[in-house]
Structure 1
Amino acid sequence: MARGFCVGLGEFLTFAAMVLAILVNIGQISQNTVARHFYLVSADLTGLQNSLTTNAAATNVQAHDIYATDQASPLLQNNGLRQYYYWGMYSVCGGEGVGGARSCSPNEFVHRFEPLDVLEADQSKNSGFNISTVLPSGTIQDNAYLGKFSNGASIILLAGTIAAGLAFLVSFLAHHFAFLISALLALLAAVCLAVAAAIWTALVAKVRSSLTSVNIGLVVHYGQSIWLTWGAAGACLLAFVPLVLSCCTARSKY
């Protein structure tokens, strides 16, 4: 009975981790309702034009019509800035919000988080200013730093997702060696997911910190996908113990 409980608990935890990690992976890959609601980081630009207008004399920036007239127009084609941006593992989307009109970039393997490049590629050539001149210096403008670490974090996150899925599937073999492999895969998944979540948490924290020196109407937020990744890492770590116990009590032959 104890063995059955340990097996069931280990399988449940690895399944939960796999589902959470998959939700992180599908975030922003399409316009469907589920994918829209999961993202690693978001940016709110709704206050940018008012801020630029208010501080025009001090900044010597005369901005006008900075937002795209059609928030669902193609992204990254100088059609104008979006009110909100959402970054997932494979693309970035922008528009009126999670449930509003919006557009997404083409999906690519582990999309790099480079906010300055996205804003410059979206900014209309008739807006009267260059976005890089009004953003504070620091992490928000450091595409090389953000791109490198976000790329690495997403690759590690993908590896953790695969490891969690394999841990769940292997546990169904119901053999002590299979449970050992499953436990090791769960531990590997926990490490990968925790490292990925830590990197993304640190990146967003540094970007937010670089924006505190000046109020320009741009606010960056942590996405719920970061917290889901932390949750998946915790579930895999918790699954390690019952899977190891299952290994000790399971049959040794098929």
Structure 2
Amino acid sequence: MRGEYCVGGASFLSFVALLLLIFVHVGQINTSVVPHGIAMAKVNTSGFGQALNASFGDPIQGLYTDNYTSPLGERNGLRQLYEFGLYSYCAFVNSSAGTCTNHTIADSFEPYIAMTSDMFQNYTQYSDAMFVNTTLMNSSYLGYNARVAYYFILLGTIFATIALFTGVARRALLFFISTASSITAALFILIGAAIWTSIVKKCEAVNTLQLHVSNGTVLSGIVVSYGNGIYLAWAAFACLAASTVPYMVSCCTFRG
């Protein structure tokens, strides 16, 4: 295989990986079309009111809000959907109307705190009893691991950028740097994506959590799911892993 083809193939894979990682980073920074469509994790709370009603037998009033512009975390009412990114989270009263928190480097993934900080205090007390000993409620565990995963993804993005820009010049040393950077980036993205996959998977246990009511049991009404940001991270890892082969070939055999 000609060296130009190896370099071109590796550069293309690195470019695709970097583009995917950029999309991962912009998820949930605001409610415009692209950021709104990308999240690391989603929490649907639309059935929670019915579960509370069935559990306590009393009408549930004031749990949700229809005012999507009201600030988050000030007990203004629960939203129907919460979506979490790397720098902030957004909450929506329907499929498109929502608002986001301020941007924070290595933002913590704390879905239970996000939900309960929007509820009235009495509903929060009920929720604490319902979700005790669940991973969803273990905010310190989720927050810490999400922050660790963020730094791995950030470092992976930086090394992917280095691999892309050093792999275009016809120098053996630069090809070596691009190879090493691509391998390092793939490893870091692998770790970050695996951590996010693990913590969301553990939170999904709440999807089948059953609450005891007078005539049997009902589901909790909280549904946790993977966001497509996790799939983009895994795709970026695959591209970076694939790019290491042509980079390595170029490093060892390229002659111009």
Code of the residue aligned with 2:78 in structure 1: it is L
Superposed counterparts of 1:78-97, under 5 Å: 78-97=75-94
CA contact (8 A) 1:28 1:39 kept: yes
Superposed counterparts of 1:83-232, under 5 Å: 83-97=80-94, 99-125=95-121, 130-214=126-210, 215-232=219-236
2:13 aligns to what? Answer: 13
Q: Distance in 2 between matches of 1:200 and 1:220?
A: 13
Distance 1:202 1:127, change over 3 A: closer
CA contact (8 A) 1:63 1:128 kept: no
Secondary structure in structure 1 of the residue aligned to 2:208: coil
CA contact (8 A) 1:62 1:128 kept: no
CA contact (8 A) 2:45 2:80 kept: yes
Q: TM-score, normalised by structure 1?
A: 0.92
CA contact (8 A) 1:10 1:240 kept: yes
Secondary structure in structure 2 of the residue aligned to 1:86: strand
Pairwise CA distance, 1:38: 0.5
2:64 aligns to what? Answer: 67
Q: Distance in 2 between matches of 1:229 and 1:49?
A: 34
Gap runs ≥5 in structure 1: none
Code of the residue aligned with 1:228 in structure 2: it is L
Q: Distance in 1 between matches of 2:122 and 2:99?
A: 21
RMSD: 1.8
1:37 aligns to what? Answer: 37
2:240 aligns to what? Answer: 236
Pairwise CA distance, 1:3: 0.6
* Match status 1:2 vs 2:2: yes
Q: Distance in 2 between matches of 1:154 and 1:207?
A: 18
* Match status 1:27 vs 2:27: yes
Per-residue Cα deviation, 1:155-186 (whole angstroms, up to 9, x for no partner): 11111111111111111222111111001101
Q: Distance in 2 between matches of 1:194 and 1:128?
A: 36
Secondary structure in structure 1 of the residue aligned to 2:167: helix
Per-residue Cα deviation, 1:144-163 (whole angstroms, up to 9, x for no partner): 11111111011111111111
Gap runs ≥5 in structure 2: 211-218
Pairwise CA distance, 1:130: 4.0
Q: Distance in 2 between matches of 1:102 and 1:213?
A: 27
Code of the residue aligned with 1:121 in structure 2: it is S
Code of the residue aligned with 1:241 in structure 2: it is V
Q: TM-score, normalised by structure 2?
A: 0.91
Secondary structure in structure 1 of the residue aligned to 2:224: strand
